[in-house]
Structure 1
Amino acid sequence: MHGYRVYVLHDDAERRQREQAHRWEASHDPLTGLANRRGFLAALNQLLSRPDRQDEPHAVAMLDLDFFKEVNDRAGHSAGDRLLQDIASLLLHRLRASDVVARLGGDEFAFILYDCDREHAADLLEGVRQQIAEHVMVCDSHPYHVTASIGIALLQAEDKLPQDVLDRADMRCYLAKHQGRNRLVTMA
């Protein structure tokens, strides 16, 4: 056997598919298919580390559904899950394909709107807010409505960590709820 080599070929497509599925599951919400908190923070971290991020404005927004607890309490968690899936689909169709849409948990969503100034972000998300307010989910012949409170923050030069901009967007989302819900707040 001197001078000969033995090669063993093995198809590892199944292993690669499993690894790909694990990577997807680590960064996506299984209920909605949207990015999860980990995937969202990774995308925001990547944006913050880009040397050219100052060349164009970028917006980060937080959205919290109003009255979602009532859907879960009255119609059950499966109806709540269905409503979250409806909202996720609405968000994906309403926002641009280049944007990051994530479900952070519960009824809280977040967005990265690339190359988007305050006015354009407000226009896009006002359309989202209106469409959510118009959405009706019927469960056991009972209609359920939710609305959305949304806070928008633009990336600033001093933002170094994802939490810097997320805190501003979250504070504005809280203000939208505090000011009566079903509204959008861009400035504190």
Structure 2
Amino acid sequence: MAHYELIMYGSETCILSGVTDITPLKRVEENLAEHANYDALTGILNRRGGLEALNNWLANPHSEASSCIVCFIDLNNLKQVNDCYGHQAGDEMIKEVCTVISERLHAEDLFFRYGGDEFIILFFQKDWQQVTSIWASIQQMFAEKNSSSGKPYTLSASRVLYHCEKDTDLSIEEIIKRADLEMYKDKQGQRLASSPFGEMV
């Protein structure tokens, strides 16, 4: 960083200059920015970073993608794993799920942690069938890992899809809320279907 200032030296006007190396400061700023946008446990984007990326896409008129498919993910049985085997096991479960999902995504897809056991994928430049196929491959990898891991818990996650157009009048919060509502209805349907009496359990 250079700084210049006009000063009088005797009867002459001079320029006083100073140079400071701010490389270490910039490195600290970059590290802080990275920590602010990434989840410490999984290494993927956190809620702040993910929603900021979604907002940037909505606000960018030059983006190649005119729409995206929001995939709202809810890990199954995380509370039970934490209660039965401890939070370390729960953390391992979260990390394993994120690793499997990340390995199946493409460079243009955006994956972030929305909450404790809730995650979101933003699929750009893909249709419904392509997204469904990707999720099927994720489920297949869950099954393969479960059969060979020898761990007392299984990797499992539920998901719902919500199609979002760039020119939508909905806010980011409303988009996420709609996807979350679809997840809630899906979970309620699963509970109803699993009850032998046709009632919620």
State the TM-score, normalizing by the size of structure 1: 0.82
- From 171, 177, 182, the equivalent of 1:172 is 182
- From 148, 154, 157, the equivalent of 1:148 is 157
CA displacement, residues 165-187 of structure 1 (integer Å, 9 cap, x when unaligned) = 21222122223322328xxxxxx
1:99 aligns with 2:109: yes
- From 60, 63, 69, the equivalent of 1:59 is 69
Counting only pairs closer than 5 Å after superposition, residues 120-159 of structure 1 correspond to structure 2 as: 120-136=130-146, 142-156=151-165, 157-159=167-169
Larger radius of gyration: 2
Counting only pairs closer than 5 Å after superposition, residues 30-49 of structure 1 correspond to structure 2 as: 30-49=40-59
Contact 1:57 1:155 in 2 (8 A): yes
Contact 1:57 1:117 in 2 (8 A): no
Greater Cα offset, 123-132 or 18-27 = 123-132
Q: Distance in 2 between matches of 1:130 and 1:68?
A: 20
Aligned to 1:84, the other structure's residue is in SS state helix
The amino acid of 2:30's aligned partner reads Q
Distance verdict in 2 for CA 1:43–1:137, change over 3 Å: farther
The amino acid of 2:172's aligned partner reads P
Q: How many residues align?
A: 180
Distance verdict in 2 for CA 1:142–1:84, change over 3 Å: closer
Which 5+ residue runs of structure 1 have no aligned equivalent? 182-188
Which 5+ residue runs of structure 2 have no aligned equivalent? 1-8, 192-201
**Displacement of 1:48:** 1.5
Greater Cα offset, 156-165 or 29-38 = 156-165
Identity value in percent = 30
1:12 aligns with 2:22: yes
Distance verdict in 2 for CA 1:130–1:119, change over 3 Å: same
Q: Distance in 2 between matches of 1:134 and 1:79?
A: 19
CA displacement, residues 53-94 of structure 1 (integer Å, 9 cap, x when unaligned) = 696431111100111112111221111112211112112111
Contact 1:138 1:144 in 2 (8 A): no
Alignment match, 2:195: none
- From 95, 98, 111, the equivalent of 1:85 is 95
Contact 2:93 2:155 in 1 (8 A): no
What RMSD over aligned residues (CA atoms) do the two structures have, in Å?
Answer: 2.6
Distance verdict in 2 for CA 1:159–1:135, change over 3 Å: farther
